[in-house]
């Protein structure tokens, strides 16, 4: 059972990592334009991305 | 669908809008402008616009939002200006309309993000606690010892307490606001259940007991937040489309300075005494008096009258009328709060107050539900303490179990899930559901009131006596009419779009057209203009006269075209047991003809806005629930005072703002469709509520008798939520089944 002592923190840490990533994405406006994001992946030029 | 809406709206906005008055300042000092861009469909468009505009000197940012079809530009005010950038966009082939900063609602946006953050936190908490709880449940059947279980409970407590503290805020705030107004909302039992569950589980954990319901508290919050977020999202989408439609109609005014120079001006900045230039195809931005020019004004949005009025110098003109044939210079007599438009808005506010008292079905249920549940818990506590003689800790435990098992989860989900599915279905059909309780109110109606011009009809004129006219006359008239923007002339030229306009046709606004040919003089216009002396027939609609080169006449009669499926829709509404009435500001014969064509028996003509409200009050006093369908400014107060209201996307912005539903496209079928969806939704909501109550009737006795364990609570709760959600999703299949039927 002693493995629980580090398995639980590891599981929680991974979960928090996911939550943090989501909140960061939300804060940096990545959920503003979901349709646009799906299309932007088709930009196939190597030109610098639009500012 | 958004695209069709855009192109539909564009026909309404003829003149170019000067973007300069809409420019705002960013925090970093650059100028910024939000534009609604027509015709963005794909990655190619996005890339072309962003790349080309970014390359222009001075531009700091150009970012397209494909979801909302809006482009945000930021640039260095010293290096370039709005006009140049919008011009560049137009040269790329995209028409655009500027957004006024105040119409973009950041509050709504912030609210959505707040809910999403709460949802993310609750989701994290629920999943991790469930992970531990499944361990505890499995442990109960195997060899988990007490200390390990306690450890799991402690970890759960550490996860759930911050989660609940963060994610309960939307419910807590709403419950508190409700209490302040002296009402019990659904959010109150939700808040109480979650807080009590958490507190009791903590108490149990400290004691080392096995009845910890942390997972129930976290997943309850998670489920409810999902429902709430989806609900809000669906409405936000409908509102964004509605905003786009509105901005297409918003425009600037052109100010004529004393030295003759012109300047663009926001409509909200107009003041009495200013001199404005009103180009052809623009709506008058303010009430005033004509200084120079003759034209025909289309007042159909204002009064419901189909026939344009000829106006000249010294005539009084009103904001909201459309200038049809020639530019006008007007002196503003009233603006803002003093215009006829503002008067209508004031009528509307007063009318709308009655509606604010409507109480949503869930909240009506909650009024009964929360006292009963809280009382049941109290009785359980007292019963166990005094009748059974149990220690108070145990009694409290059972009482809280009652609160948990009667979890308002199914009730809290009953409405939002149906709402989401319904508004999604309506959105695909081009119907925007704007108000939260619009479906409930629409499902309850028994009377439908239609406005005529622009609602039952398209507000577009059609030649009525084509079979009486010779082809030569028609061709001759069209060759004259092709040069004019008068609605009657346009109706004529639509008949023969290929006929080339005659050379040297002169337009005399308010009178008619004149062309001199070798054979003689040709005239097209009013009876007076042509000098016709024929006895008048019995046609009451608008008419045009043609004077041929030899001095003889031909007469063209016009009717307002009903929407293609108007009669069909009226019949369908009647078949559903609804009374249908027509209420119009237009003249008696015209309204009578339209009523007959649409199959409506009860009609009233020459109705002023206050008459329309009076009729609605009369119906309301008789206990009728009325759906008002209207598009004009004159309908706006009626729209606000009816039990529920719909407005076509081609309607005035005020009406669209007042209406609960906005529908797009030429057909009226949307009215029927919306009513059907509302009825089906209502049935599903009632089923859901019944299911929630049936579940409670089974579970509460178990809880009162003290048989509930955390595992049973979790299973019962999820099962009831899933049943309610699946039942709501049937609305999709109902729609699909209907479409399959021919």
- Summarised one tens digit per residue, pLDDT across range B288-304 is 889 888 888 887 766 66
Task: Please indicate if any CB of chain B lies within 8 Å of the CB of A42.
Answer: yes
Residue of B18, B451, B559, B635 marked active site: B451
pLDDT value for B398? 83
pLDDT band at B5 (very low <50, low <70, confident <90, very high): very low
Q: Higher model confidence: residue B591 or residue B14?
A: B591
Q: In what order do the strands lie in the sheet with B543-547?
A: B457-463, B553-562, B543-547, B520-525, B512-517, B505-508
| B527/B486 Cα distance (integer angstroms) | 16
For chain B, percent of residues with pLDDT exceeding 70: 88
Minimal Cβ distance to A40: which of B43, B116, B131: B43
In the annotation, is B635 catalytic? Answer: no
What is the rounded average pLDDT of the residues A43-48? Answer: 63
CA distance B62 to chain A (A): 7
CB contact under 8 A, B64 and A36: yes
What pLDDT shows up at residue B12? 34
> What pLDDT does residue B122 have?
94
Q: Are B120 and A4 a contacting pair at CB < 8 A?
A: no
Confidence of residue B271 (pLDDT cuts 50, 70, 90): confident
Q: Give me the residues paired with residue B35 across strands.
A: B71, B98
Query: Chain A contacts of B117, Cβ < 8 Å?
Result: 23, 26
Across the interface, whether the CB atoms of A22 and B63 are under 8 A apart is answered no
Cβ of A26 within 8 Å of Cβ of B113? The answer is yes
What pLDDT is recorded for position B257?
Answer: 80
Of B51, B120, B121, the CB nearest to A50: B51
Report yes or no: B118 and B170 within 8 Å, Cβ to Cβ.
yes
The pLDDT assigned to B157 comes to 94
Mean pLDDT of chain B: 81
**CATH number listed for the domain at residues B431-455+564-678:** 3.40.50.1000
CB atoms A35 and B66 under 8 Å: yes
Interface probe, candidates A28, A50, A51, chain B, greatest B C-beta count within 10 A: A50
Q: Which CATH class, in words, describes the domain spanning B2-104? A: alpha beta
Q: What is the per-residue burial (b if ≥16 Cβ within 10 Å, else e) of B696-728?
A: beebbebbbebebebeebbebbeebbebbbebb
If pLDDT is split at 50, 70 and 90, which confidence band does B196 have?
confident
What is the ipTM metric for this complex?
A: 0.82
Range with top average pLDDT, B244-253, B410-419, B617-626: B617-626
pTM score: 0.73
Lowest mean pLDDT among B9-13, B216-220, B491-495, B515-519: B9-13
What is the per-residue pLDDT for B575? 93
The residue among B428, B432, B497, B489 whose CA lies nearest residue B460 is: B489
Q: Does A3 touch chain B (CB under 8 A)?
A: no
Phi, psi angles (nearest 5°) of residue B667: -85, 160
Contact list, B46 vs chain A (CB under 8 Å):
36, 39-40
Tokens of B23: 């420019």
Any chain B CB within 8 A of the CB of A7? no
Interchain contact, B64 vs A1, CB within 8 Å: no
**The pLDDT value given to residue B15:** 43
Class (C level, CATH) for B252-351: mainly beta
Q: Which residue on chain A is closest to B144 by alpha carbon?
A: A1
Q: Please tell me the least confidently modeled range out of B310-314, B545-549, B648-652.
A: B648-652
Three-class SS of B442-510: HHCCCEEEECHHHHHEEEEEEECCHHHCCHHHHHHHHHHHCCCCCHHHHHHHHHCCCCCCCCCEEEECC
Interface probe with A: pick from B71, B106, B128, most Cβ of A within 10 Å: B128
Query: What is the residue extent of each domain of chain B?
Result: 2-104, 108-241+357-419+687-740, 252-351, 431-455+564-678, 460-562
Out of 3.30.750.24, 3.40.50.720, 3.40.1110.10, 1.10.3210.10, the CATH code matching B460-562 is 3.40.1110.10
Query: A34 to chain B: which residues are within 8 Å by CB?
Result: 67
CB neighbour list of residue B736: distance below 8 Å, 6 or more residues apart = none
Interface contact B116-A11, CB threshold 8 A: no
Output the CA–CA distances (angstroms, integers) from residue B445 to B518, B626, B642, in the order listed. 64, 6, 10
């Amino acid at each position: 059972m002693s493995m629980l002592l580090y398995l639980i923190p590891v599981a929680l840490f991974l979960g928090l990592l996911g939550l943090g990533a989501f909140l960061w994405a939300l804060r940096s406006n990545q959920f503003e334009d979901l349709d646009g994001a799906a299309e932007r992946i088709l930009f196939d030029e190597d030109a610098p991305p639009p500012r | 669908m958004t695209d069709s809406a855009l192109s539909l709206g564009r026909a309404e906005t003829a003149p170019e809008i000067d973007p300069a008055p809409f420019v705002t300042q960013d925090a970093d000092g650059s100028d910024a402008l939000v534009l609604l861009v027509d015709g963005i469909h794909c990655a190619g468009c996005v890339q072309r616009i962003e790349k080309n505009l970014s390359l222009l000197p001075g531009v700091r940012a150009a970012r397209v939002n494909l979801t909302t079809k809006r482009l945000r530009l930021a640039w260095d005010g010293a290096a370039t200006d709005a006009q140049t950038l919008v011009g560049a966009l137009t040269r790329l082939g995209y028409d655009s309309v500027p957004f006024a900063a105040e119409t973009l609602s950041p509050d709504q946006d912030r609210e959505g993000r707040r809910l999403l953050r709460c949802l993310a936190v609750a989701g994290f908490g629920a999943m991790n606690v469930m992970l531990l709880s499944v361990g505890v449940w499995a442990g109960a059947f195997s060899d988990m010892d007490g200390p390990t279980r306690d450890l799991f409970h402690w970890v759960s407590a550490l996860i759930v307490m911050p989660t609940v503290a963060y994610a309960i805020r939307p419910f807590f705030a709403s419950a508190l606001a409700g209490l302040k107004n002296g009402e019990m909302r659904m959010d109150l039992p939700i808040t109480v259940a979650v807080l009590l569950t958490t507190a009791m589980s903590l108490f149990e954990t400290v004691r080392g007991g096995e009845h910890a319901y942390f997972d129930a508290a976290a997943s309850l919050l998670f489920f409810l937040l999902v429902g709430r977020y989806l609900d809000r999202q669906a409405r936000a989408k409908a509102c964004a489309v509605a905003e786009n439609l509105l901005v297409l109609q918003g425009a600037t005014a052109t100010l004529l300075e004393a030295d003759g120079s012109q300047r663009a001006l926001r409509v909200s900045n107009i003041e009495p005494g200013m001199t404005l230039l009103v180009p052809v195809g623009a709506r008058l931005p303010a009430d005033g008096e004509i200084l120079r020019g003759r034209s025909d004004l289309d007042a159909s949005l204002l009064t419901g009258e189909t026939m344009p009025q000829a106006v000249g110098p010294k005539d009084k003109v009103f904001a909201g009328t459309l200038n049809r044939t020639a530019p006008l210079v007007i002196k503003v007599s009233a603006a803002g709060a003093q215009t006829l438009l503002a008067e209508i808005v004031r009528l509307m506010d007063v009318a709308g107050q009655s509606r604010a008292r409507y109480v949503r079905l869930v909240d009506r249920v909650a009024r009964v539900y929360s006292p009963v549940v809280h009382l049941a818990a109290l009785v359980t506590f007292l019963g166990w303490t005094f009748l059974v003689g149990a220690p108070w800790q145990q009694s409290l435990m059972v009482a809280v179990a009652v609160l948990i098992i009667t979890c308002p989860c199914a009730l809290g989900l009953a409405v939002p899930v149906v709402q989401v599915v319904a508004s999604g279905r309506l959105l695909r059909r081009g119907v925007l559901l704007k108000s939260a309780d619009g479906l409930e109110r629409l499902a309850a109606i028994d009377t439908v009131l239609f406005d005529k011009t622009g609602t039952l009809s398209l507000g577009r004129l059609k030649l009525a006596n084509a079979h009486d006219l010779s082809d030569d006359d028609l061709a001759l008239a069209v060759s004259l009419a092709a040069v004019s923007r008068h609605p009657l002339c346009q109706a004529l030229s639509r008949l023969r779009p290929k006929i080339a306009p005659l050379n040297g046709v002169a337009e005399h606004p308010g009178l008619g057209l004149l062309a001199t040919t070798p054979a003689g003089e040709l005239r097209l216009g009013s009876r007076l203009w042509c000098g016709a002396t024929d006895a008048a027939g019995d046609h009451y609609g608008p008419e045009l006269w043609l004077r041929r080169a030899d001095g003889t006449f031909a007469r063209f009669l016009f009717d307002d075209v009903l929407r293609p499926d108007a009669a069909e829709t009226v019949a369908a509404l009647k078949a559903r047991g609804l009374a249908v009435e027509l209420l119009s500001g237009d003249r008696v014969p015209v309204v009578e003809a339209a009523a007959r064509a649409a199959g409506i028996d009860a009609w009233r003509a020459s109705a002023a806005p206050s008459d329309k409200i009076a009729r609605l009050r009369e119906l309301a006093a008789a206990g009728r629930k009325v759906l008002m369908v209207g598009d004009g400014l004159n309908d706006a107060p009626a729209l606000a005072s009816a039990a529920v209201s719909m407005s076509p996307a081609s309607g005035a912005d005020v009406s669209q703002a007042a209406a609960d539903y906005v529908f797009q496209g030429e057909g009226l079928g949307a009215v029927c469709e919306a009513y059907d969806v509302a009825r089906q939704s209502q049935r599903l909501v009632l089923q859901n509520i019944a299911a929630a109550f049936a579940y409670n009737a089974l579970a509460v006795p178990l809880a009162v008798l003290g048989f509930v364990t955390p595992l049973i609570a979790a299973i019962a709760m999820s099962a009831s939520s899933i049943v309610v959600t699946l039942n709501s999703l049937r609305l999709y299949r109902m729609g699909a089944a209907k479409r399959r039927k021919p």
